[in-house]
Amino acid sequence: MKSIQLLSGIALLVLGFTSCKDEKQEKAQKTVDSYVAYVDSVKNVAAEDLKADWKSVDAEYDKRAQEAELALADLKDKTAATEKVNASKIKYEEFKNEMTAVFAPPPAPSPKQQLRNALFGEGKIGDDMSFAWVNAQNIHSVYQQFVHTVENNKDNYSREDWDEVKLLYEALDSRKNTVEKEGLTAEDNRKIAGLKIKFAPMYTVNRMGAKSEENKEAKK
Residue 151's contacts (CB-CB under 8 Å, 6 or more residues apart) are 198, 202
Name residue 163's amino acid.
D
**Domain range holding 75?**
2-103
Residues 91 and 174 in one domain: no
CA distance 151 to 143: 12
pLDDT by 10s per residue, the chain, length 220? 433 343 333 233 333 433 445 788 888 888 888 888 888 888 888 888 888 888 888 998 899 999 999 988 888 888 898 999 999 999 999 999 998 888 888 888 899 999 999 999 999 999 999 999 999 999 999 999 999 999 999 999 999 999 999 999 999 999 999 999 888 999 999 999 999 999 999 999 998 877 655 545 544 5
Residues 53 and 95 in one domain: yes
Last residue of one domain, picked from the residues 47, 80, 103: 103
Confidence (pLDDT) at 217: 53
Q: Considering the entire predicted model, what is its pTM?
A: 0.57
Residues 190 and 130 in one domain: yes
Confidence (pLDDT) at 5: 43
Residue 180 neighbours by CB distance under 10 Å: 14
- Show the CA angle centred on residue 184, arms to residues 178 and 190, nearest 5°: 110
Confidence (pLDDT) at 139: 97
Total domains, the chain: 2
Confidence (pLDDT) at 50: 82
Residue 20's contacts (CB-CB under 8 Å, 6 or more residues apart) are none
Last residue of one domain, picked from the residues 77, 103, 129: 103
Confidence (pLDDT) at 212: 54
CA distance 131 to 56: 45
Confidence (pLDDT) at 216: 52
